[in-house]
Each structure stands twice: as structure tokens, then as C-alpha cells.
Amino acid sequence: MSVRALLVAVVTAGLTACATPITPPPPAALEAGAAHSAELARWTGHLSLRLQAFGPEPARGVSLTFDLQGQPGSGALDLSTPLGTLVASVRWTPQSASLYTADGAQAFDTLDDLVARVLGEPLPVRSLMHWLQAPPGEFEAEGWRVDTRESANGVVVAHRSASPSARGATLKIRLDRTAP
């Protein structure tokens, strides 16, 4: 599923009241019974991803609500329309990653493979957990310039500059609440 397909899914889900429900399994960390409140983190909020034009690909963007929980090694990311309709769920472990949509489930070897396939661009989902817990400031991580100066207000912004092999991207996260 590309960004374009995800955008179509978001619009379609928002316009149809009888969408096929998505029923992903619980995050692997919860299934394994290893989930003590001190081991898991959970964030909910809104994210906006803007991708610059790149070669024949036009500029694109998507805005969704999210629920991110788990740990970098295993966890879950649910993406919904601004109206609350679940459009995609991602579950990952160190061994695999799965995408759940109204079209069914798809398995991937890694979370990075899944994200690159869905968004058409790599996005460091595991690192988001670290970014969201970082103290206020600015830093470089995995080719991204991360700005957490407004993290006390629940805002984290990351920017990746365009290069010959990747389009420029801006990810903005606005948290509703956090639970360590």
C-alpha cells in the first residue's frame, strides 16, 4: 500500500459508514505476557507526513491519528482517519512485521520493509519511541533532524532532507497523551 493508496483508504473510510472492520491481534509484547506497565509505553495523537516531489513522484501528504504502543523490539501502531475509522494496523516483533487493513493481513520480514512498502519511503517507526521520550532539544538520528523543543506541549517534528536516493520528508507529531 503506497501513500496514495493509504490516502484513498483514509478518504474512502471517512466517506463510508459500512467499512469492513479491521481486527488486528494485540501487540506481541502484550500477547507474550511480558507487558508490565514499566516495560511498555503508549502514545496517542495526530501525525502528519509530508513527502517532497521526487523524480516522477509528486509531492504527497497524509494526516492521521495514531496509537503507538510497545517497545522498539515489538509493538503496535494503529492508524485512523481524523474521524476515528481504523484504516491500518501494524504489529511487529524482532522476527517479523504484519500489516492489517480492510483487505486482510500482509506479512513482511521486517518493520522497515513494511513501512517502506506502505509509505513508499522508509520511516524509522522504532526510533519514534525514542524521539517521543527525548528531552527538549534538537538532534540528528538516522538521517533525520529531530526537534523536540516543544515536547512539553506534545509536539515533535522531524525533517529529512532530500538526497539523490530519497525524497525530503517532514513528520510532525502532536501527542494527545503519553503513558510510560
- pTM, two decimal places: 0.79
**Residue 134 identity:** A
Q: What is the 3-state secondary structure (H, E, C) of 15-29?
A: HCCCCCCCCCCCCHH
User: Alpha helix (H) ranges present in the chain?
Assistant: 3-15, 28-31, 111-119, 125-133
Greater pLDDT, 97 or 26: 97
CA distances from residue 122 to 48, 62, 169 in whole angstroms, order as listed: 15, 15, 10
The mean predicted confidence, pLDDT, of the chain is 82
Name the superfamily (CATH) of residues 3-179.
Answer: Lipoprotein localisation LolA/LolB/LppX (2.50.20.10)
Residue-wise pLDDT for 104-139, tens only, equals: 999 999 998 998 887 777 788 889 999 999 999 999
Length of the chain: 180
pLDDT of residue 165: 84
Cell numbers found for residue 153: 506541549
164: helix, strand or coil: coil
